[in-house]
Every structure is written in structure tokens, then in C-alpha cells.
Chains A and B, each alone.
Chain A
Amino acid sequence: MHSLLPFGRWLLVLCVIFASQVQAAAINTSSGWNLPPGVTSISQEIFSLHMIIFWICVAIAVVVFGVMFWSLFAYRKSKGAKPANFHENTTVEVIWTAVPLLILIAMAIPATATLKKIYDTSDADIDILVTGYQWRWHYQYVEEDLSFFSNLGTPRSQILGEEDKGDFYLLEVDNPLVVPVGKKIRFLFTSNDVIHAWWVPDLAIKKDTIPGFINESWTIIDEPGTYRGQCAELCGRDHAYMPIEVRAVSQETYDEWLEEQRQMLAEDAAGSQREWTMDELMDRGKGVYNTYCAACHQADGSGMPPAFPALKNNPMMITEEGRDAHIDAVLYGRSGTSMPAYSGTLSVADIAAVITYERNAWGNDAGDRVQPSEISEMLSDD
């Protein structure tokens, strides 16, 4: 027979092991086991609330289970314990009802104080309208007349396993959201199609974006850095492929970035007027195709019939007669299918380029070019 440690010592050992594990997890926040403290005063407040309530739960568990296990052990039948036989004890019942009530109220007081701060979106320096799309984010800087789409930046070759996955696999975008540090930024959330959710753990923001509704949140980021997130509401097949990348930079860098964006918009506007060569269109079209079309129609144009038709050898894309229908499908979508309209999403240059690309890639030999000016004329006729 091996001898057992006395029960009290067992309990102590277990408590020490448990507490050290928990403490390690709480302190080492990069362990991945705990809530991240984040980089804003609100996210840190939420983290401390989370820890306070966690320790309250631990204390309750230690008391309740301690009493339970001690009773089981100290009053076991083999020691000759006799069960008490009574029906009720109003005093004890009142205590065990009132104590949790008081604990809950004590928890609600600091939680309410934090909630009030979270909902106070007043006096913002910058307003950004965030719109969810299947499957990308659109950011509009309300005061700056600047807006753009933010698409998945991870190359398809990494997704298909043809290349090693990068450090920020599926957490990187082509155009990140850039914001200045130390400024109060108000986010307005809505959606263009289905319900998405904009979730950046380091900012402690997780808001549903709902078509026809505006949700609000705000943040002040103190530390410059890149903060990443994902869509947190299942929104369709590419739900996992619409990450969020927020870059917090100094005010100077932010101003420079704004200037750059304005120049790019001006260049784009100028580009829609001039004549483009086949090489220019094909080059730009390939990039647009891989970002916006390849998820369904595949990089090699083979599609996934019957839901997503093949574009390779598609009669619409290899004949002169199909040209108008082809342009129409890209601009306005195909009703009754999952093909969306791109007239409001892509610039005229992007649309012209991607149509040209589809007509001349993968052995398609329509041979014709679609010029940006042609598209802008069609759109202004509407």
C-alpha cells in the first residue's frame, strides 16, 4: 500500500500549481491563452475588468469547492459521520441568494463605467465610414473626400500551398487603414450586402456591420504600429479572406499619406481619359482579376461550374458579339447569380483593364481592347 498525502496538503499543492499556471498566462499575454490587453486605454480597461472578474470567479471557486471537498473528506462515512436530517434553513438560503446578488452588483459598477466610455463617440477628430463587402472592406475618410477598398494582400500561391506561408498569412491587405496616433477616431460601421463584423482585438473593437444600419465605435491609439484583425461574422465563402490591417502612424506620416492618396486619385482620374496600350491594360487587368475575380472564376479562368462559370473559352469573351454582354456583366452584375456589380467598386481603368484581360488571357483571343474612356462614357450615359 502506498501512502496518500493528507488531503489538506493535496489541496494546497493543486492550488499552487493552478495559481502559477494562471498567473503565468495572465502575465505572459503573448501566451495566446488570455485576452490581449491591447493598445488603447479602453482595451486596457477591458483587460483589467476581465482579470478582476476572473479572480473573483477563482476566489468563489476556491471557497465553494474547498468547502465541498473538505466536507466530503472530513465527514466521510468510514469515519462514522452521521447525516443531519433537516428540511430547510431560511437564513442560509437568504445568504446564498443575497451574496451572489451583491457580487453581481459589485461587478456591474466598474463594468458600467467602462461601457459608458465605450459608447461615448462624441468629439471625434476623424470620422471613418467602414463598409463591409463580400469579401473586402471599404474605408471612407468622411472629412477628407478619400475612400478606397482594402483587399486581402496574401498572394494566392500561398493560399494554394505553392509557396511558403508568410508571417501575416491571411492577415495582410493591399491598402491598410492608416490613422494618426493620439487622435480620437470615430468609426461608423455599415454593410453593402450581408452582415460582417469589424474586429481588431488590439483596439478592443468588434462591431457588426449591418446593411441599412450604422453602428458606432471609437478609438485613440497611442502607440504607432500595425494592428490586425478579421471579419468576425460568417459572411460567405471568403469570410476568412477579408482581413483588417490598421496602421497607426505619426501625424506627419499621416498627412504625407493623405497627400499621396490624393495624388493617386488624381492620376487615376487622368488615366481614365487617355488611350491605353494592350500591355498596360493586360498588366493592370491581371492584378485586378486576381484580387476581385479569381476567388470564384479561378486564376486560370476555369471557374467552378455550375456556380461560377468558366471564362476561358467563354463565348461571351472570345467573340465580338459577346463584348457588350461581357461589359454589362462586369458593370452591373448578373441578377439571380452571385456575380456582383463592379461599377461602384472598381475605377473605370480597373474595369476596362480587367475586361480586356479576360478577353485576351488563357488563350482567349477576342483581340480587342476596352478603353477606360469607353467605360466612363457608358457609365455617364446611365
Chain B
Amino acid sequence: MLQVIKSVLAAFLGVQSEKNRQQDFQSRSPWPFIVTGVVMTLVFVLVVASVARWAAS
């Protein structure tokens, strides 16, 4: 699970090491990556929105 989160974060930044990439593609199903990606995108949007709301208040 930690590996999946790390890879999604790497994807957010756009930088991934070749070693981790190889490891990710050992995984049998893509679903953990997709679900984690969607959830973390939502979290990111919420964080940005609340920072913007805090800055505007």
C-alpha cells in the first residue's frame, strides 16, 4: 500500500525512478493504482480549495 501511495505521489510530481516503475509493473491488477489515484486527487483538490478559502478569509 505504501508503495502504491509513493507511486501516485511520484505521478503527481511527474518523476518516477526506473526501479520503482519496474516494481509497480509487477503488480497483477491496475485497480489499486487507479483507486488510490482518484482518492488522492480528491484529497489534493480539497486541500487546495481549503487553502484558497483560508487565504481569502
Q: Mark B36-55, 1 if CB is under 8 A from A, else 0.
A: 00000000000000000001
Mask of B1-19 contacts with A, CB within 8 angstroms, 1/0: 0000000000001111110
Q: Is A21 close to B, CB under 8 A?
A: no
Cα distance, A90 to B14, chains bound together (Å): 11
Residue of B nearest to A89 (CB): B17
Q: Number of B residues contacting the other chain (C-beta, 8 Å)? A: 8
> A90-B16, A97-B14, A116-B56 given. 13 additional CB < 8 A pairs?
A87-B18, A88-B17, A88-B18, A90-B15, A90-B17, A93-B15, A94-B13, A94-B15, A97-B13, A97-B15, A98-B13, A112-B55, A116-B55
Q: How many residues of A contact B (CB 8 A)?
A: 9
> How many angstroms from the CA of A94 to the CA of B15 in the assembled complex?
6
Query: Interface of B with A (CB < 8 Å)?
Result: 13-18, 55-56
Interface string of A118-156 (1 = CB under 8 A from B): 000000000000000000000000000000000000000
Between A and B, 9 residue pairs with Cβ closer than 8 Å are A87-B18, A88-B17, A90-B17, A93-B15, A94-B15, A97-B13, A98-B13, A116-B55, A116-B56
A116 to B56, CA, bound (A): 7
Chain B CB within 10 A, most for which of A94, A98, A116: A94
- Contacting residues, chain A, for B17 (C-beta < 8 A): 88, 90
Chain B residues with Cβ under 8 A from A93's Cβ?
Answer: 15
Identify the A interface with B (CB < 8 A).
87-88, 90, 93-94, 97-98, 112, 116
Residues of chain B within 8 A (CB-CB) of A94 are 13, 15
Kindly provide the distance from the CB of A110 to the nearest chain B CB, expressed in whole angstroms.
12
Q: Which residue of A lies closest to B55 (CB)?
A: A112
B32 to A: closest C-beta gap in Å: 22
Residues from chain A with Cβ under 8 Å of B18 in the complex = 87-88
Please, which residues of chain B bring their CB within 8 A of the CB of A116? Answer: 55-56
**Chain B contacts for A88, CB-based, 8 A:** 17-18
Question: In the assembled complex, which residues on chain A have CB atoms less than 8 Å from the CB atom of B16?
Answer: 90
Bound form: Cα–Cα A112–B57 in Å: 12
Which chain B residue lies CB-closest to A95? B15
**Minimum Cβ distance to chain B for residue A240 (Å):** 38
A97 vs B55: C-alpha distance in the bound complex, in angstroms? 25
Query: In the bound complex, how far is the Cα of B55 from the Cα of A98, in angstroms?
Result: 22
Minimum C-beta distance from B45 to chain A (A): 17
In the complex formed, the residue of B with least CB distance to A119 is: B56
**CB-CB < 8 A to B55: which residues of A?**
112, 116
Residue of A nearest to B17 (CB): A90
Q: Which 7 A-B pairs have the closest CB atoms?
A: A90-B17, A93-B15, A94-B15, A97-B13, A112-B55, A97-B15, A88-B18
Which residues of chain A are within 8 angstroms of B13 by Cβ–Cβ distance?
Answer: 94, 97-98
Distance of A26 Cα from B16 Cα, bound (Å): 42
Which residue of A has the minimal Cβ distance to B14? A97
